[in-house]
Structure 1
Amino acid sequence: MAIIPHEKSSCGGLTLHKIQTDKYKTTTVVMQFKSRLSEETVTKRALLPYVLQSGTENYPSSKALRTELEKLYGATLGVDLAKKGDFHIMTFRMDFANEKFLSEDKPLLKKALGLFADVVMNPKKVDGVFDSSIVDKEKRTLKQRIQSIYDDKMRYSNMRLTQEMFPNEPFGLHVYGVKDQIDQIDAKNLYEYYEKVRNEDEIDLYFVGDLEHISIKDLVTDLFPLKERTEASSDITEKAPLEVKEREVQEEQEIKQGKLHIGFRSGVSYADDAYYALQVFNGMFGGFSHSKLFRNVREKESLAYYAASRYESHKGLIIVMSGIEFKNYNKTVDIIKEQLTAMQNGDFNDEEMNQTKTMIRNQLLETVDDARGMVELLYHGVVSQKLRSLEEWLDGVEAVTIEDVKKVADQVKLDTVYFLKGEGAE
């Protein structure tokens, strides 16, 4: 039996995904809206899900929505934004009790899904557009959300590194949009954008739970009357090309700890056969506590408060993040470069490889232990147009050889070194 028993079908203007499992006492519904990142729409899109969850025609305020959720045995509703490769993803999630565990025989699934559909399909309107008081409130909150990036220097440095690596590309945009664009948004132009999203976005709707003998497709068809898409999307993220000149960017702010973020291009994305080898490479390079960065930069040389790497698989990037004393900048950069050279030279052994594979395996199994984690793994397949079953994934990682890792390590190219340091620091 498949670890994630996944059924997929077309349902009007969306793709329906059913994951049948009796593992949970709840049902999880996740709706993903996918569109290309664009400077013209990024800020409206960052605002839109928060406006939608603030009131519907039937439940015209956040308070009314919360009251209704409480009536549904404490159901939860939330929204989120993500950037996956060149795409800007809006997510709506709802969790509610499985009615078979309730003493009352209520059609809870139908009621909960009705409320969920109300949020997405039936927003509160005034004179045919969004309620301007809701839009204005969420605009203020979005400004605070963007400001919070500037206050968190690790997130800020990550944003700045991405901007420097992709200055004229959509991938350089932040998921929360551009602060200077917020005041240009109003109830009318945001509602026009919402209609465009409903008609044009690629939409995937996931159900996770014990759903046997329930005709979800009929319910979805009734509740989400979306216009059929004219053709299936063939849009995929362009991998970051490997022809790149090394760059160094330094910035000064009033801070006490330096933030050193380094961006590498790997030429390997989620859809590639070498994806598994790149996962193992990243695990040994900086992904886990036994990695070269952790052991040599943080433990052995005591140069960093933290040192780690992460793999942005849709764009094919490796991002190294570390917090250091200002005076240790040059030495830390040199040692990080040395760790990449060591990986390229095959300076690692079977024991490190096996430990890394075990940790990747455990991470994956832990992810699918959670309903939202299951959806997240499956959704990588939508974004990349390469659906991998969990079994394929686990077997693929297990089959990686030392030569495979050396081969992908050889491709990794340094793009940009970004350093945020204190004012007047040498």
Structure 2
Amino acid sequence: MKLTEETLLEKEGYRLHILPSKKYKTINIVAKFKAPLKREGITERALLPHVLQKATNNHPNVRSLQSAFENLYGTALSSDGSKKGENHVISFRMEVVNEAYLNDQEPILEEAFKLFHEVLFDPKVEGDGFDEAIVSREKQTLEQKITSIKDDKMSYANLRLMDHMCKDEPYALHVHGYQEDMADITPDKLYGYYRQMIKNDMLDVYVIGDMDQAAVEKMTDQYFSRSGSNNDDNDQVSVSKQVEEPAEIIEREEVNQGKLHLGYRTNTKFGDDDYYALQIFNGLFGGFPSSKLFMNVREKHSLAYYAASRFESHKGLLLVFSGVDPKDYGQAKTIILEQMEAMKKGDFTEEQVQETTEQVVNQLQETMDNANGLIEVLYHQMLSGAEMPANELIDNIRKVTKRDVVAMANKIELDTIYFLTSNEGGE
């Protein structure tokens, strides 16, 4: 398998990544704004994408802007915020029909670029701030999202695990921001933060699809250039942390099902030599239905409604999630810890390593078959400084041996055990 050939160009205030491919009938444009994770500004960053997508100076209300997108054959725009290690990334994604497939040959792509530019760089402004009604409405929506996290007990338990495990680390910051910040966020202050973001964030623009590269480069120069921004890499590096003594946290709420989440430190991140072994380790430990956590905690002992693990690629964390009856906390915790010890001792077969390797490879190939998935893989590689062709990436995964997995397992340290239980539940 070969990755689409990527052309990387340093431009005025942004980096352009062009990925020509005849595989897709649409053209995908993704703009990624990256800044160090900081408590000050995290709520503004959660709010901004929603405000920007509601109105521009040329399309001053939601209906007008939606109509403009619909007139471009249903061009779609979406956004999200995410944490990549100790950094925050706001992604805007636009999918445009390829005009080569249209009978009337309208210049759809350039109109889409123009509209994308309006959303990002020419939002509706009143005086020295954003539209007050839009900001008020989006603040209310975000506030509801923040408060509703507590209703999703699995997400809430993960949030609380990070609060405890990564205390005093930027990674602990909540990606949706904080309710207590809302009162101080005025249209003027939000617009002021937006102007800082537009000037100072690291901006990467990806374009993937069947296109005229020269024409696309000309369009991006016209619609994404940022004069006055040198687009310096502002990466905030995750620091490795050694665990002195694992913490055990028990919190009580009105819940029927306890949430037992464990946080481990791998101190292995995307781009490290043993990252591939971590991928196989996670598959064997809790990443697939054939894993130790699923087969032992859920199937064999019937102690969990679900039991799985995942790892944070840019932070060096391994997280275990399980839903258990509050009365089974002690037994479930013991069996989860036993599965980690079994991994450290090499209690798995070469055949299981090979089966898991193929599952990991298939998962990666499925991700890269999707335009946005491919962009995410390439962006991860760029952030880590470990860029390589797909065949080399897959070869490195397939080279992982049982010995490599055992060595990886023995690097992993338990940091925090978090249990969200009922008011009556035991410890």
What is the TM-score normalised by the length of structure 2? 0.97
What is the aligned partner in structure 1 of residue 90 from structure 2? 90
Which amino acid is 1:96 matched to?
A: V
- Identify if the C-alpha distance between structure 1 residues 149 and 289 changes in structure 2 by more than 3 Å, giving closer, same or farther: same
What is the aligned partner in structure 2 of residue 279 from structure 1? 279
What is the aligned partner in structure 1 of residue 126 from structure 2? 126
* Offset at residue 386 of structure 1 (A): 2.4
1:80 aligns with 2:72: no
Alpha-carbon distance between aligned partners in 2 of 1:108 and 1:203, rounded to the nearest angstrom? 24
What is the aligned partner in structure 2 of residue 415 from structure 1? 415
* Offset at residue 69 of structure 1 (A): 0.9
Give the unaligned 5+ runs of structure 1. none
What is the aligned partner in structure 2 of residue 319 from structure 1? 319
Alpha-carbon distance between aligned partners in 2 of 1:396 and 1:45, rounded to the nearest angstrom? 36
1:103 is paired with a residue whose SS is coil
Which amino acid is 2:133 matched to?
A: S
* Offset at residue 242 of structure 1 (A): 2.3
Alpha-carbon distance between aligned partners in 1 of 2:185 and 2:287, rounded to the nearest angstrom? 40
Which amino acid is 1:281 matched to?
A: F
Alpha-carbon distance between aligned partners in 1 of 2:36 and 2:121, rounded to the nearest angstrom? 21
Q: Is the 8 A contact 2:309 2:318 kept in 1?
A: yes
Deviates more, 1:207-216 or 1:392-401: 207-216
What is the aligned partner in structure 1 of residue 27 from structure 2? 27
* Offset at residue 267 of structure 1 (A): 1.4
What is the aligned partner in structure 1 of residue 156 from structure 2? 156
Q: Is the 8 A contact 1:6 1:20 kept in 2?
A: yes
2:369 is paired with a residue whose SS is coil
Alpha-carbon distance between aligned partners in 1 of 2:308 and 2:237, rounded to the nearest angstrom? 25
Alignment of 1:149-188 (within 5 A): 149-188=149-188
Q: Deviations over 1:76-131 (max 9, x none)?
A: 11111111111111111111100000001111110011001110000000013211
* Offset at residue 224 of structure 1 (A): 2.0
What is the aligned partner in structure 1 of residue 343 from structure 2? 343
What is the aligned partner in structure 2 of residue 190 from structure 1? 190
1:73 is paired with a residue whose SS is coil
Alpha-carbon distance between aligned partners in 2 of 1:193 and 1:209, rounded to the nearest angstrom? 33
Alignment of 1:41-56 (within 5 A): 41-56=41-56
Alignment of 1:3-402 (within 5 A): 3-212=3-212, 214-227=214-227, 229-230=229-230, 232-233=232-233, 235-402=235-402
Q: Is the 8 A contact 1:346 1:402 kept in 2?
A: yes
Q: Is the 8 A contact 1:32 1:91 kept in 2?
A: yes
Identity of matched residues, %: 42
Alpha-carbon distance between aligned partners in 2 of 1:246 and 1:380, rounded to the nearest angstrom? 30
Q: Is the 8 A contact 1:239 1:268 kept in 2?
A: no
Alpha-carbon distance between aligned partners in 1 of 2:327 and 2:235, rounded to the nearest angstrom? 45
- Identify if the C-alpha distance between structure 1 residues 320 and 50 changes in structure 2 by more than 3 Å, giving closer, same or farther: same
Q: Deviations over 1:387-422 (max 9, x none)?
A: 233222201110001111111100100000000001
* Offset at residue 59 of structure 1 (A): 0.8
1:81 is paired with a residue whose SS is strand
Alpha-carbon distance between aligned partners in 2 of 1:3 and 1:220, rounded to the nearest angstrom? 23
1:411 is paired with a residue whose SS is coil
Alpha-carbon distance between aligned partners in 1 of 2:227 and 2:408, rounded to the nearest angstrom? 43
Q: Deviations over 1:304-327 (max 9, x none)?
A: 000000010111110000000011
Which amino acid is 2:382 matched to?
A: V
* Offset at residue 219 of structure 1 (A): 1.1
Which amino acid is 1:415 matched to?
A: D
Q: Deviations over 1:197-221 (max 9, x none)?
A: 1111000001110013542221111
1:416 is paired with a residue whose SS is strand
2:177 is paired with a residue whose SS is coil
2:143 is paired with a residue whose SS is helix
* Offset at residue 227 of structure 1 (A): 2.9
Q: Is the 8 A contact 1:236 1:385 kept in 2?
A: no
Q: Deviations over 1:347-401 (max 9, x none)?
A: 1111110111111111011001111101111111233232233222201110001
| Aligned residue pairs, count | 426
* Offset at residue 74 of structure 1 (A): 0.8
- Identify if the C-alpha distance between structure 1 residues 359 and 121 changes in structure 2 by more than 3 Å, giving closer, same or farther: same
1:211 is paired with a residue whose SS is coil
Q: Is the 8 A contact 2:44 2:193 kept in 1?
A: yes
Alpha-carbon distance between aligned partners in 2 of 1:336 and 1:284, rounded to the nearest angstrom? 13
Pairwise CA RMSD of aligned residues? 1.3
